[in-house]
Amino acid sequence: MEHDVTKTVRLYMAVFGGLLALTIVTVWAASWETATGLGVVLALLIASTKGTLVAGFFMHLFSDRFPLIARVLVFSAVFFVVMVVLVFLGFVDSFGANRAPIGG
């Protein structure tokens, strides 16, 4: 990518603009849609989009694809999801779980 510096710079600036815009959107969205299911989904969607922008462009995951690094990240992503989901399920599916499980 060093052969076309101006293009890269323009790309980074566009991503930066996008991130700023999404920051404003998320604050604005939260001001009328708080703490409901939709609000949570919306906020996390926006955050994920921003995260993808950072990881994809600033961290070059989109431009230089190395299967090795992608594989490592897939591993950790899978284990992260496993941790969240299984711990959560263990929490929900427990005797006396309606309020809080034993000890909680």
Partner 1 sequence: MGELQATHAAAHEAHGDHAESFIRKYVFSTDHKVIGVQYGVTALVFLAVGFFLVLLMRWQLAYPEQPMPLLGGLFGNRMTDAGVMTPEFYNQLGAMHGTIMVFLGVVPLAVGAFGNYLVPLQVGAPDMAFPKLNMASYWLYFLGGIIMLASFFLPEGSARSGWTSYPPLAVLEPGGQTWWLIGMVLLINSSLLGSVNIIVTIVQLRAPGLQFMRLPFLVWAQLVTSFLLLLAFPPLEVAGFMQLLDRVAGTSFFMPTGLVVDGQAVAFSGGGNALLWQHLFWFLAHPEVYVLILPAMGIVGEIVANNTRKPLWGYKTLIYSVLFLGGMSFIVWAHHMFLTGMGTAISTFFQLTTMIISVPSIIILTVLIISLWGASIRFSTPMLFALAFIPMFGIGGLTGLPLGLSVADIHLHDTYYVIGHFHFVVAPGTLMALFAGIYYWYPKVTGRRMNDTLGRWHFWPTLIGLNGVFLPMFLVGMAGVSRRLYDGGTTYAHAQDVLWLNEVSTVASWLLAAAQVVFVINFFLSLRNGKKVEDNPWQATTLEWATTSPPLGHGNFASPVTVHRGPYEYSVPEASNDFSPQHQEST
Partner 2 sequence: MAEIEIPYNSTNHPDTGVYNAKLGIWLFLASEVLFFGALFSSYILLRVGAGGTAGDWPLGADLLNVPLATFNTVVLISSSMTMVMSWASLKSGNFDAFQRYFGATIGLALLFLLVKGLEYYAEIFHQRYPSTSTFLATYYTMTGIHALHIIFGVAVNAYHFVSAKRLYAEEPERFTNRIEVAGLYWHFVDLVWIFLFPVLYLL
Among 10, 38, 59, 89, binds partner 2 (CB under 8 A): 59
- Write down the least CB distance from residue 95 to partner 2, Å: 15
Rounded CA separation 103/81 (Å): 25
* Pairwise CA distance, residues 22 & 86, whole Å: 31
Amino acid identity at 9: V
Shortest separation between residue 85's beta carbon and partner 2, angstroms: 9
* Tokens at 70, concatenated: 């992608």
Stretch that binds partner 1, among 4-12, 18-26, 36-44, 96-104 (CB under 8 A): 96-104
Question: Which of the residues 43 through 82 are near partner 1 (CB under 8 A)?
Answer: 68, 75-76, 79, 82
DSSP 63: T
Query: Alpha helices of 5-66 — where are they, by DSSP H?
Result: 5-32, 37-53
Placement of tokens 């462009």 in the chain = 57
Distance in Å, CB of 58 to partner 2, minimum:
5
Between residues 5 and 68, which has the closer beta carbon with respect to partner 1?
Answer: 68
